């Protein structure tokens, strides 16, 4: 996390995609819910780096997940949306003139709210586009909520293990 | 140009974001079955919406032909009503109805949705069914002549055996002038010509004589136009006339039809059944 280049970005991406596809997608909690962890790449991407590169990499990680799940474009779309809105959120909520913004300056509640809203938005997009049925709107919403909560727990664990809050 | 450049430099990230989203959407709609079927459904709906208007326009363009057919039929009906007896005093003719004032036949108009004339047994489908009171064994007339007999009906459609059927259709027909009747069949060669047999050979014939239904079958009313005599010869095997009848209705160009309902059919059926019973008793 100290000196990240495009090369380390790609390594992290490969790690996260492999973790998601080969480990997490084989876990089904309560019968049908699968934790989603790979958006942490987007959420915890270092601030103040090339935003175009950030968007492109977000699109790429979503697309690689799609490639394994045969759901072309769906995860790519959702991941790019949360990446773009992360830049929007932190541009408006902080003073852009300072170059020292980081998660350290956030309170824990703000940090957790950011994590949950991101994963919720992500799952909302993914599942509604994937099922694409307005008749099952409440069933899908329940699915989105449960999946978001489960994934949220996994993301907190990831953040604690890699000490994201302190480092990024 | 300067405006565009400024727009891009100010909102470059947003433009890039939209660009990525478009790629994702294109992928979603081109690769996923669910979205593809939705897209196919939408385009099909749009297509049928547009072709509905086109069909309406086409039927508007066909109004003239339909109108001509209706006028011809009206003329025939007027002739039937006023043209026969009492030509001096055509109106207010009292009808002596021996059936006690009962109406025997009633009609339902319909349109042909599918038609064939080039097979051995031909069928067509009309857009009237059980909901409109159309049931098997009802006759189907066209503006200029008879067309077929209903053999099956669903809620809103009916399948009609065309008169152009080799073994399945035998219609009681009569010569209008002399009143002699025979059996009308089709031999499967020419869609304009049917054959009338069982007319004795002492009956005098002329090319152009009118052939009508004789109304004994309770399927068609009496006196419906069928066609005209186009040629005749003696059948050597039976000794009866073999008459070629040119149909007045072009079966290949049918559009509007009328389904004939016989209101007294059950009654006729009942009395015929007692006749059958009597014959059976006599034979025993």
Q: Give pLDDT, residue A91.
A: 62
Other CB atoms within 10 A of residue A30 CB? 7
**Structure tokens of A43?**
């959420």
**Structure tokens of A72?**
């072309």
Q: Give pLDDT, residue B12.
A: 78
Residue that wins the pLDDT comparison between B284 and B16: B16
Residue that wins the pLDDT comparison between B161 and A106: B161
Other CB atoms within 10 A of residue B160 CB? 30
Instruction: Using DSSP, state whether A160 is helix, strand or coil.
Output: helix
**Structure tokens of A100?**
């020292």
A31: alpha, beta or left? (left if phi > 0; alpha if psi -120 to 50): left
Q: What is the C-alpha separation between B157 and B126, in angstroms, rounded? A: 6
CB contact at 8 A, B212 and B223: yes
* CA separation, residue A17 to residues A11, A161, B195 (Å): 10, 18, 81
Render pLDDT for B163-183 as a digit per residue (tens, 0 to 9).
Answer: 888 878 888 899 988 888 899
Render pLDDT for A116-138 as a digit per residue (tens, 0 to 9).
Answer: 988 999 999 988 888 877 777 88
Complex prediction ipTM: 0.75
- The answer to the question of residue A48 being in a domain is yes
Q: Give pLDDT, residue B81.
A: 67
Q: What is the C-alpha separation between B161 and B167, in angstroms, rounded? A: 11
Q: Which of A143-152, B74-83, B197-206 has the highest mean predicted lDDT (pLDDT)?
A: A143-152
Minimal Cα distance from A84: which residue of B?
B17
Q: Give pLDDT, residue B143.
A: 85
27-46 in chain B: CB under 8 A from chain A = 27-28, 30-32, 34-35, 38
Q: Does B268 touch chain A (CB under 8 A)?
A: no
Q: Give pLDDT, residue A120.
A: 92
**Matching residue, tokens 């949306």:** A81
Instruction: Using DSSP, state whether B227 is helix, strand or coil.
Output: strand
Nearest to A55 among B20, B26, B38 (CB): B20
Maximum CA extent, chain B: 109
Give burial (CB, 10 Å; 0-12/13-18/19+) of A20.
buried
List, in order, residues 6 or more apart from A87 with CB less than 8 Å away.
A51, A54, B13
Render pLDDT for B1-13 as a digit per residue (tens, 0 to 9).
Answer: 677 777 777 777 7
- The answer to the question of residue A28 being in a domain is yes
DSSP β-bridge partners for residue B199 = B241
DSSP β-bridge partners for residue A80 = none
CB contact at 8 A, B171 and B183: yes
DSSP β-bridge partners for residue B262 = B105
Q: Does B26 touch chain A (CB under 8 A)?
A: yes
CB contact at 8 A, B157 and B129: yes
Other CB atoms within 10 A of residue B102 CB? 10
Query: What average pLDDT does range B57-78 have in this prediction?
Result: 82
The rounded mean pLDDT for chain B is 81
Look at A132 and B24 and tell me if their CB atoms are within 8 Å.
no
> How far does the CA of residue A160 sit from the closest CA of chain B (Å)?
30
Return the sign of the alpha-carbon dihedral for residues B185, B186, B191, B193. Answer: negative
Instruction: Using DSSP, state whether B232 is helix, strand or coil.
Output: strand
Give B-chain residues touching A87 at CB under 8 angstroms.
13
The rounded mean pLDDT for chain A is 82
- The answer to the question of residue A1 being in a domain is no
Q: Give pLDDT, residue B86.
A: 43
Render pLDDT for A24-61 as a digit per residue (tens, 0 to 9).
Answer: 888 777 777 888 999 988 888 887 777 888 889 999 99
Q: What is the C-alpha separation between B245 and B145, in angstroms, rounded? A: 12
DSSP B28-61: HHHH-HHHHHHHHHHHHHHHHHHHHHHHHHHHHH
Give A-chain residues touching B28 at CB under 8 angstroms.
72-74, 77, 129
Number of domains in chain A: 1
Nearest to B34 by CA among A82, A134, A119, A25: A134
- Whether this prediction's pTM lies above 0.80 is answered by no
Instruction: Using DSSP, state whether A106 is helix, strand or coil.
Output: coil
B225: alpha, beta or left? (left if phi > 0; alpha if psi -120 to 50): beta
Instruction: Using DSSP, state whether B85 is helix, strand or coil.
Output: coil
Return the sign of the alpha-carbon dihedral for residues A85, A117, A94, A168. Answer: negative
Render pLDDT for B105-152 as a digit per residue (tens, 0 to 9).
Answer: 778 888 888 887 777 888 888 888 888 888 888 899 888 888 999 988
- The answer to the question of residue A130 being in a domain is yes
Render pLDDT for A57-101 as a digit per residue (tens, 0 to 9).
Answer: 999 999 888 888 878 888 999 999 998 888 777 765 555 545 556
* CA separation, residue B253 to residues A49, A140, B69, B117, B257 (Å): 75, 55, 11, 10, 11
Range of the domain at A74: 6-167
Rg (alpha carbons) of chain A, rounded to whole number = 16
Name the CA dihedral angle for B162, B165, B167, B169, rounded to a multiple of 10 degrees.
Answer: 30
């Amino acid at each position: 996390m100290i000196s990240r280049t495009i090369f380390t970005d790609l390594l992290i991406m490969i790690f996260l995609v492999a973790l998601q596809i080969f480990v997490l997608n084989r876990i089904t909690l309560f019968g049908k819910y699968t934790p989603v962890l790979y958006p942490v790449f987007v959420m915890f991407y270092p601030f103040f780096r090339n935003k175009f590169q950030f968007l492109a990499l977000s699109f790429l990680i979503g697309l690689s997940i799609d490639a394994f799940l045969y759901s072309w474009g769906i995860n790519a779309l959702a991941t790019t949306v949360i990446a773009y809105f992360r830049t929007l959120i932190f541009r408006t909520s902080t003073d852009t003139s300072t170059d020292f913004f980081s998660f350290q300056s956030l309170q824990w509640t703000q940090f957790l709210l950011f994590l949950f809203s991101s994963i919720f938005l992500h799952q909302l997009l993914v599942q509604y586009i994937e099922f694409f049925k307005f008749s099952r709107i409440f069933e899908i919403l329940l699915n989105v909520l449960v999946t978001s909560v489960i994934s949220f727990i996994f993301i907190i664990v990831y953040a604690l293990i890699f000490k994201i809050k302190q480092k990024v | 140009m300067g405006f565009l450049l400024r727009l891009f430099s100010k909102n470059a990230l947003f433009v890039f974001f939209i660009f990525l989203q478009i790629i994702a959407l294109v992928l979603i709609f081109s690769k996923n079955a669910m979205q593809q079927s939705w897209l196919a459904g939408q385009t099909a709906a749009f297509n049928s919406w547009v072709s509905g208007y086109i069909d309406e326009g086409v039927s508007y363009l066909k109004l003239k032909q339909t109108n001509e057919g209706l006028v011809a039929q009206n003329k025939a009906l007027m002739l039937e009503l006023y043209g026969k007896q009492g030509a001096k005093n055509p109106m207010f003719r009292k009808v002596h109805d021996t059936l006690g004032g009962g109406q025997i036949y009633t009609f339902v108009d319909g349109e042909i949705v599918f038609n064939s004339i080039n097979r051995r047994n031909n069928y067509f489908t009309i857009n009237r069914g059980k909901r409109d009171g159309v049931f098997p064994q009802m006759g189907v007339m066209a503006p200029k002549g008879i067309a077929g007999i209903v053999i099956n009906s669903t809620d809103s459609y009916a399948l009609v055996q065309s008169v152009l059927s080799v073994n399945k259709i035998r219609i009681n027909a009569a010569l209008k002038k002399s009143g002699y009747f025979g059996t009308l069949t089709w031999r499967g060669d020419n869609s304009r010509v049917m054959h009338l047999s069982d007319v004795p050979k002492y009956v005098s014939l002329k090319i152009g004589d009118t052939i009508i239904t004789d109304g004994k079958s309770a399927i068609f009313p009496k006196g419906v136009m069928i066609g005209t005599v186009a040629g005749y010869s003696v059948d050597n095997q039976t000794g009866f006339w073999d008459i070629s009848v040119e149909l007045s209705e072009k079966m290949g160009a049918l559009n509007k039809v009328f389904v004939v309902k016989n209101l007294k059919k059950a009654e006729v059926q009942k009395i015929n059944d007692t006749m059958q019973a009597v014959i059976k008793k006599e034979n025993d």
